[in-house]
Structure 1
Amino acid sequence: MVESTVDTITAVRASALSLESVSRRHGRGDRETTALDAVSCAVPVGSFTAVVGPSGSGKSTFLQCAAGLDRPTAGTVRIGGTDLGALSEAALTRLRRDRIGFVFQSHALNLVPSLSIEENVVLPLVLAGADPEDERVLSRGRDLLTRVGLAGRGAQGPATLSGGQQQRVAVARALVTEPEVIFADEPTASLDPESAALVLGLLRDAVRIDGRTVVMVTHDPVAASWADTVLTMDGGRLR
């Protein structure tokens, strides 16, 4: 028992993300539904994990609970050893801002239309208190735009970009805080194959070059093939 406990603690500390018996139920009584059913897993630091499954399988709820966007009904979610359930709403907001990056399916959720492309990239730094005119902040934004193939486009608005280019800006913004985990929710769902490959390549490079951890929900087996590990969900459980 002692060895098992020690092994568990060691595994949690070595994981960028861990879920222990996580359940999420909605409604009450006869109307109660279970979106997640006692899900447990550990995602290693510096890995790319895809979560796949049919519509209604629980994969989106998995991402929401894992990223601290929704609180589970039962169980424990940890980011880098931090128990999300033990955090206040304010502390959880700070953790999402400082230690997590997001790439959403919807362009409307990814980018703020009233901000320039560069301002969108550095927005998490500004929200954390950085001076938007600080040369280090500006340089960070420019460097990331160069990395995603959009050098020289920073002063433009998001509306001037194609959907694939907007997703590449979203990846740049997800990287700007050097997060522990990047969560991507169907990041290529509305993209053509070439644009999708560019976005997936950037996520792959975030793991390979930067040592980031990427967790991606997708229904696309081609997108899932870019990952190191594929987790399959069905009926709210990992199969």
Structure 2
Amino acid sequence: MIDGEFAQAHRAFVEPPAFPTPRIYTSGYCEENVYNLLRMFIHQYPQWRAFAVFISNPTKSVAVWEQRASSDPVSGRLVVWDYHVIAWLFPPSEDDRQQADNGITTPNSSKRSWIYDMDSTLQQPCLAREYLSKTFKNQTALELRWRSSFRIVSAGDYLENFASDRSHMLKNVGNTEEMEYIAPVPPYDPIRGPLAQVSHNLMSDFVCMEARSFGVVAKNVTEAFEMALSLASVSE
């Protein structure tokens, strides 16, 4: 392998993948934004271990900082979401990197991981530790109704089983039976994974933190970080 080819292969394994250009993004549809992002990552970077992370709680009111939807920098750009969704990527294992580098050992970066949140004001992508500390502040000091729980789902399970007919985005117009979307819908058909048994399972199987469904559920930030590391290690 010539020097230029080696450098390119090395960077592909130790630096996080960039967002695709153009980004597939629709405001208000974070679950679909992450779905499309993970579909691209799985195709282009199969050695990376990728997860969808759903953030919510029983009251559907989680405090999330550094959000572009907030116009108040004094508050730390705080938004209270009913739920939010991000992508979490872990680098290839050391064995994968050594093989790609033609037997030359690369620095061990297995403890570093990156979070992709297209609604965040933080660096894109952002190191996981930095993102978690700045996005979910002072959790123990918050009232329980504002604290975040996390459902961590492998990219494969998410892409195969997720379905949304976008009905959760509909509301009545005034006192009539007419319905309208609270945010403009994405410019493509609703998503239904190849193994999805229903047309809509977003709220019941992914956002609901009490459901025994896909992935694992962490009750706080520390637990989420530990669980994600464990899942990434198992998937190597």
TM-score (norm 2): 0.25
Instruction: Indicate the structure with greater helix content.
Output: 1
Instruction: Indicate the structure with greater strand content.
Output: 1
